[in-house]
Chains A and B, each alone.
Chain A
Amino acid sequence: MTINELQDNIIEEFSMFDDWMDKYALLIDLGNSLEPLDEKYKNQQNIIMGCQSRVWLNAELKDGIVTFQGESDAVLVKGIVSLLINVLSGHTPDEILNADLYFIDDIGLKEHLSPTRSNGLVAMVKQMKMFALAYKSIKQ
Chain B
Amino acid sequence: MTNEQLQHIRADFPILTEKIYGKDLIYFDNGATTQKPRCVVEKIENGYYHLNANIHRGVHFLSQKATEAHEAARTTVAEFLKAEKREEIIFTRGTTEAINLVATSFGEAFCHAGDEVVVSVMEHHSNIVPWQMLCERKGLKLKVIPMNESGELDLDVFKSLLNEKTRIVSITHVSNVLGTINPVDEIIQIAHEKSIPVLVDGAQAVPHIPVNVVEMDADFYVFSAHKIYGPTGIGVLYGKSNLLNAIPPYQGGGEMIATVTFEKTTYNELPFKFEAGTPDYIGSTALAEAIRYVENIGIENIAAHEHELLIYATEQLLEIEGMRIIGTAENKSSVISFLVGNIHPYDIGMLLDKLGIAVRTGHHCAQPLIDSLGIPGTVRASFAFYNTKEEIDVFITALKKVVLMLS
Q: Which of B350, B351, B406 has most A Cβ within 10 Å?
A: B350
- B346 and A76: CB pair below 8 A? yes
- B346 and A53: CB pair below 8 A? yes
- A74 and B354: CB pair below 8 A? no
Expressed in whole angstroms, the minimum distance between the Cβ of B227 and any Cβ of chain A is 20
Expressed in whole angstroms, the minimum distance between the Cβ of B212 and any Cβ of chain A is 37
Q: Footprint of A on B, CB under 8 Å? A: 21, 343-347, 349-351, 354, 361-363, 376-377, 405-406
User: Can you report 11 A-B residue pairs in the complex whose CB atoms are below 8 A from each other?
Assistant: A51-B362, A52-B377, A53-B344, A53-B376, A73-B344, A75-B344, A75-B347, A75-B406, A76-B350, A112-B350, A119-B346
A24 within 8 A of B: yes
- B346 and A28: CB pair below 8 A? no
Interface residues of A in 32-73 (CB under 8 A from B): 51-54, 73
Q: Footprint of B on A, CB under 8 Å? A: 20-21, 24-25, 28, 51-54, 73-77, 112, 119
Within 8 Å CB of B406, what residues of A?
A: 28, 75
Expressed in whole angstroms, the minimum distance between the Cβ of B400 and any Cβ of chain A is 14
Expressed in whole angstroms, the minimum distance between the Cβ of A29 and any Cβ of chain B is 10
User: Residue on B with the closest CB to A23?
Assistant: B354
Q: Which of B344, B347, B405, B406 has most A Cβ within 10 Å?
A: B347
How far is it, in angstroms, between the C-alpha of A25 and the C-alpha of B354 when the chains are bound?
A: 13
Expressed in whole angstroms, the minimum distance between the Cβ of A30 and any Cβ of chain B is 13
How many A-B contacts are there with CB distance less than 8 Å? 39
- B354 and A20: CB pair below 8 A? yes
User: Residue on A with the closest CB to B349?
Assistant: A52
- A52 and B346: CB pair below 8 A? yes
- A52 and B361: CB pair below 8 A? yes
- B344 and A74: CB pair below 8 A? yes
Expressed in whole angstroms, the minimum distance between the Cβ of A106 and any Cβ of chain B is 18
Instruction: Name the contact of B346 in the complex, choosing from A20, A25, A74 (C-beta under 8 A).
Output: A74
How far is it, in angstroms, between the C-alpha of A20 and the C-alpha of B344 when the chains are bound?
A: 20
User: Residue on B with the closest CB to A72?
Assistant: B344
How far is it, in angstroms, between the C-alpha of A21 and the C-alpha of B376 when the chains are bound?
A: 25
Expressed in whole angstroms, the minimum distance between the Cβ of B95 and any Cβ of chain A is 20
Within 8 Å CB of A51, what residues of B?
A: 362-363
Instruction: Name the contact of B405 in the complex, choosing from A28, A52, A74 (C-beta under 8 A).
Output: A28
Within 8 Å CB of B362, what residues of A?
A: 51-52
How far is it, in angstroms, between the C-alpha of A77 and the C-alpha of B361 when the chains are bound?
A: 14
How far is it, in angstroms, between the C-alpha of A84 and the C-alpha of B376 when the chains are bound?
A: 24
- B405 and A73: CB pair below 8 A? no
Expressed in whole angstroms, the minimum distance between the Cβ of B214 and any Cβ of chain A is 39
How far is it, in angstroms, between the C-alpha of A74 and the C-alpha of B351 when the chains are bound?
A: 12
- A24 and B344: CB pair below 8 A? no
User: Residue on A with the closest CB to B376?
Assistant: A73
Sorted nearest first, the 10 A-B pairs with minimum C-beta distance are A74-B344, A74-B346, A52-B346, A53-B346, A52-B362, A76-B347, A74-B347, A75-B347, A73-B344, A76-B350
New A-B pairs, 6, CB < 8 Å, besides A20-B354, A77-B346, A112-B350: A24-B354, A28-B347, A52-B345, A52-B346, A53-B344, A73-B376
User: Residue on B with the closest CB to A75?
Assistant: B347
Expressed in whole angstroms, the minimum distance between the Cβ of B114 and any Cβ of chain A is 34
